[in-house]
Amino acid sequence: MKQELEQAITKAAKDLFALDVRLELTRPDEQFGDYATNVALQLGKQLNKNPREIADAIAKELTGLSLLEKSEVAGPGFINLTLSDHALAGTVQVETDIATGEYADQSVVLEYSDPNPFKVLHAGHLYQTIFGEAVANLLVRAGAVVHRVNFGGDVGLHVGKTMWAIVQDLGGESPEKLATMPKAERSEWMAKCYVKGTNAYEEDDASKQQIIDLNKRIYQIVSDGEHDSPLAQIYWTCRQWSYDYFDEFYASVGTHFERYYPESETAPLGIEAVKEQLQKGVYQESDGAVVFKGEPYGLHTRVFINSHGLPTYEAKDVGLTLAKWRDYHFDRTIIITGNDIIEYMKVVLKSIEQFEPELVARTTHVTHGQVKLRGGVKMSSRKGNFLRAVDVLDMVAEASQETTGERNNDVVLGAIKYAFLKQRIGPDIIFDPKESVAIEGNSGPYLQYAHARARSILAKAVEHKKTAELADLTADERSLLRKITEYSEVVQKATADLMPHHICTYLYELAQKFNQFYEHNRVIGDDRETERLRLVDLYASTLKSGLVLLGIAAPERL
RNA sequence: GCACCCGUAGCUCAGCUGGAUAGAGCGUUGGCUUGCGGAGCCAAAGGUCGUAGGUUCGAAUCCUGUCGGGUGUACCA
């Protein structure tokens, strides 16, 4: 419908003025109609004519179109278009055909969350997981085959620190003692060990040296794939505990990763590639390290292999890109990370571009800010005084209990997800647990309730025809229908921008529009019950579709 | 120092590939109320879009300067 209109206008402009225009129909203020275009203003400049005259001519040319109720010229030369009720109803599109979506048949590797084994999941991981899942849903709806992957450091200094404290706690390298650790306490215990190891590393030189030595042994264990020594047994067991803990957490928030890429796997690939490209001059030796000089590209220099011959994160990321390519031959890969590594990532990608330009061309780096609590608590995982993912879940569950008197998991998760997703991705976000569970205002629970309420209306109806013709609408009915028709365009924009918050904004507006309608119009028992039930049904389905895209449950009842 | 990001109502945010009077929630003030789930609806107050220029018929949106805040800047991740 929209396309038909666009073609008609483009044709009119061409017939009248012999010019091709780049046309985009926008959604104007409701008072102006269903669609609007500013082509006349663009043409006015090119033709050096009064834009209003051009607009008048085009509007007149369009009057014959059957799908149009009217076309009017307003302001400096906007052409405002109002569809017939029938045509408007025809534009409703709640579910899309994924076979014809923008990502049809494309393979997309989506990397997000990226926690480190041997460390705890913090609020940022929760945010990123929720955001990543929403993006995944958008891509799937657009036709993509999405591969959710996760990257993390199973070797490195943080592992050395945690392992050092683990060995201390066990009273030596005694893997048999791990068997006595109850499952429920494992992740908590490891988190404590990380804090203990970090503090020892900073405060005591002897401990620091022990940690460094231990770390070297762990590198060796991993690169040899050695599973027999006591230390190796402890390492592999605890590493698995970490992954178990991640899986369990992801399941609880509704995500599942199909693959973990441990650094130990990507590091060798990275080193190999960097060394090979060192020969070809992409990378250079400098002070005993292997670096990529970013300055010619307006970037900075970074170390890929340090002077001890060990890979840094940079080399591991090179390896990761190659590993993802090896495994998926993706059409596109999207990496979601915090915004503190924007410049870092530019350097890494620029270096890869020198020898695998196609992979970089298919890569998108999306970044987000920190999660901050209202009032401001800074998060640093070094000392352990930071906001963990479970802390957020607990706070919201508690706030929800206070507000509603119960702990409904759908509501708690819906509140958190919506609170995170409703803000544009990029800057830091300020999270307020109380506001997130608020039953009024722009919140997840509000929308869940709005949906349940609409469903209850439908359940109460004796029968409702899903095919009821929507014509001769009242002003209120039409206004609601008009809002519903915007849904598919909003989803498209959210997908193109990789910004789910557009959907949040829309869903809230939609719910408000419905409440306005519902306040003044009886549904059941009214002369127009058939049409109105159809509208309520479309509204509820749209709300549900949107919430599900965001990863938020839309229960029939609350 | 250099690079990148952010600065919109008291608070939290939309709006940013330029377009018609700058929108919403919370909070504040007032109204609706035996309702098809009122977790709602209506209304009011509240903004030099950090600031100064520039481009344009038109700038919160693009460009430049400037102020304020944040992040990054060689062997951490």
Give the model's confidence band at A465: pLDDT under 50 very low, under 70 low, under 90 confident, else very high: low
Q: Read off the pLDDT of each residue in A374-385 and give the average, rounded to a whole number.
A: 52
Q: Which amino acid is at A554?
A: A
Tell me what pLDDT residue A380 has.
Answer: 43
User: Which segment of A43-52, A130-139, A172-181, A324-333 scores lowest on mean pLDDT?
Assistant: A43-52
Residue at the smallest CA–C1' distance to nucleotide B7: A427
Residues A518 and A514: their CA atoms lie apart, in Å, by 6
Tell me what pLDDT residue A378 has.
Answer: 43
Residues A123 and A112: their CA atoms lie apart, in Å, by 14
Q: Which two tokens stand for residue A22?
A: 């780049």
Within A329-443, residue ranges assigned H as helices are 342-353, 357-361, 389-404, 409-421, 433-436
Closest nucleotide to the alpha carbon of A346, via C1': B4
For chain A, the helix, strand and coil percentages under 3-state DSSP, each to the nearest 5? 60, 10, 30
Helix A39-47 to helix A51-62 angle, to the nearest 10 degrees? Answer: 130
Residue A336 has pLDDT above 50, yes or no: yes
Closest nucleotide to the alpha carbon of A501, via C1': B14
CA nearest to A91, candidates A81, A99, A105, A103: A81
What is the b/e burial string over A512-542, where b = at least 16 CB atoms within 10 angstroms of the residue's CB?
ebbeebbeeeebeeeebbbbbbbbbbbbbbb
Residue at the smallest CA–C1' distance to nucleotide B37: A453
Estimate in Å the CA A423 to C1' B8 gap, whole number. Answer: 15
Q: What is the ipTM of this complex?
A: 0.95
Residue A134 has pLDDT above 80, yes or no: yes
Strand B: list positions under 7 Å from protein Cβ: 3-6, 12-16, 19-21, 24-27, 36-42, 57, 70-77
Residue at the smallest CA–C1' distance to nucleotide B12: A430
Estimate in Å the CA A24 to C1' B43 gap, whole number. Answer: 36
β partners of residue A472: none
Estimate in Å the CA A144 to C1' B15 gap, whole number. Answer: 29
Residue A382 has pLDDT above 50, yes or no: no
Give the model's confidence band at A20: pLDDT under 50 very low, under 70 low, under 90 confident, else very high: confident
Tell me what pLDDT residue A168 has.
Answer: 95
Estimate in Å the CA A497 to C1' B44 gap, whole number. Answer: 37
Give the model's confidence band at A196: pLDDT under 50 very low, under 70 low, under 90 confident, else very high: very high
Q: Read off the pLDDT of each residue in A534-555 and give the average, rounded to a whole number.
A: 96
Estimate in Å the CA A164 to C1' B74 gap, whole number. Answer: 28
Estimate in Å the CA A510 to C1' B57 gap, whole number. Answer: 35
Q: Read off the pLDDT of each residue in A496-515 and give the average, rounded to a whole number.
A: 96
In the numeric block, the tokens 């929800």 are attached to A400
The DSSP result for A247-269, as a single string, is: HHHHHHHT---SEEEEHHHHHHH
Estimate in Å the CA A485 to C1' B46 gap, whole number. Answer: 33
Q: Read off the pLDDT of each residue in A216-225 and give the average, rounded to a whole number.
A: 92
CA nearest to A537, candidates A478, A455, A476: A455
Mean pLDDT, chain A, as a whole number?
A: 92
Residues A522 and A92: their CA atoms lie apart, in Å, by 23
Q: CB–CB of A324/A333 below 8 Å?
A: yes
β partners of residue A291: A284, A303
Closest nucleotide to the alpha carbon of A32, via C1': B20
Closest nucleotide to the alpha carbon of A439, via C1': B39
Rg (alpha carbons) of chain A, rounded to whole number:
29
Residue at the smallest CA–C1' distance to nucleotide B11: A374
Residue at the smallest CA–C1' distance to nucleotide B73: A300
Question: Which of the two residues, A373 and A444, has the higher pLDDT score?
Answer: A444
Estimate in Å the CA A403 to C1' B40 gap, whole number. Answer: 17
Q: Which two tokens stand for residue A262?
A: 């441990």
Closest nucleotide to the alpha carbon of A338, via C1': B71
Closest nucleotide to the alpha carbon of A446, via C1': B39
Closest nucleotide to the alpha carbon of A442, via C1': B25
CA nearest to A545, candidates A140, A99, A91, A111: A140
Estimate in Å the CA A557 to C1' B44 gap, whole number. Answer: 36
Estimate in Å the CA A21 to C1' B52 gap, whole number. Answer: 37
Give the model's confidence band at A385: pLDDT under 50 very low, under 70 low, under 90 confident, else very high: low
CA A421, distance to chain mean position in Å, is 8
Q: What is the pTM of this model?
A: 0.95
Tell me what pLDDT residue A89 has.
Answer: 93
Q: Which two tokens stand for residue A84?
A: 């017939």
pLDDT digits (tens, 9 = 90+) for A413-422: 999 999 999 9
Residues A403 and A223: their CA atoms lie apart, in Å, by 53
Closest nucleotide to the alpha carbon of A435, via C1': B26
Q: Which two tokens stand for residue A201?
A: 């590393």
Closest nucleotide to the alpha carbon of A79, via C1': B20
